[in-house]
């Protein structure tokens, strides 16, 4: 926490409109992902979970009480896996490697982050 606070204060001083943060390689390993989530608190408006498999999504939900907004990663690399994520968790899942997912993902981000259709600054 002592290391992350100065960084977050510096970022805040820069006044970004939004911030994309990756919190560790695994929330169940000691990468301080939970401390970062704690520090960001109510400033978190969207959580994207990149999971290794559909059952890992359930594990994260049970271990942390975290309900991500969307699931990506290897857990979504087949249509069967996407359906299993939805069946087990009720969460939307997108295979971001599939070019067909590009527009649905853009729409998801626009809606979740409150961005307009005409925003182009970040390529969205």
- Kindly report, residue by residue over 13-63, the tens digit of the pLDDT: 999 988 888 876 666 666 667 777 788 888 889 999 999 999 999 998 888
- The DSSP call for residue 93 is B
Return the pLDDT at 35: 78
8 Å CB contact between 95 and 72: yes
Residues 96, 58: one domain? yes
8 Å CB contact between 73 and 94: no
Residues 62, 99: one domain? yes
Q: Number of folded domains in the chain?
A: 2
Residues 80, 21: one domain? no
Residues 6+ apart with CB under 8 A from 80: none
Residues 6+ apart with CB under 8 A from 67: 47, 61, 91
Residues 93, 59: one domain? yes
Mean pLDDT over 107-122 rounds to 78
Which residue did the predictor score with more confidence, 21 or 111? Answer: 111
- Find the domain containing 28 and state its range: 1-43
Residues 24, 71: one domain? no
- pTM comes to 0.81
Residues 58, 119: one domain? yes
Residues in a beta bridge with 48: 70
Return the pLDDT at 64: 79
Return the pLDDT at 121: 46
Residues 5, 20: one domain? yes
Residues 27, 61: one domain? no
Residues 82, 117: one domain? yes
């Amino acid at each position: 926490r002592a290391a992350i606070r100065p960084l977050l204060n510096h970022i805040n001083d820069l006044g970004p409109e939004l911030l994309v943060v990756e919190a560790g390689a695994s929330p169940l390993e000691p990468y301080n992902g939970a401390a970062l989530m704690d520090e960001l608190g109510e400033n978190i408006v969207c959580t994207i979970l990149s999971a290794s498999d559909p059952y890992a999504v359930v594990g994260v939900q049970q271990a942390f009480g975290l309900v991500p907004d969307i699931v990506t990663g290897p857990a979504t690399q087949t249509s069967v896996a996407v359906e299993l994520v939805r069946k087990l968790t009720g969460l939307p899942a997108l295979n971001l490697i599939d070019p067909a997912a590009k527009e649905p993902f853009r729409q998801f981000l626009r809606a979740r982050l409150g961005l307009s259709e005409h925003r182009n600054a970040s390529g969205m």
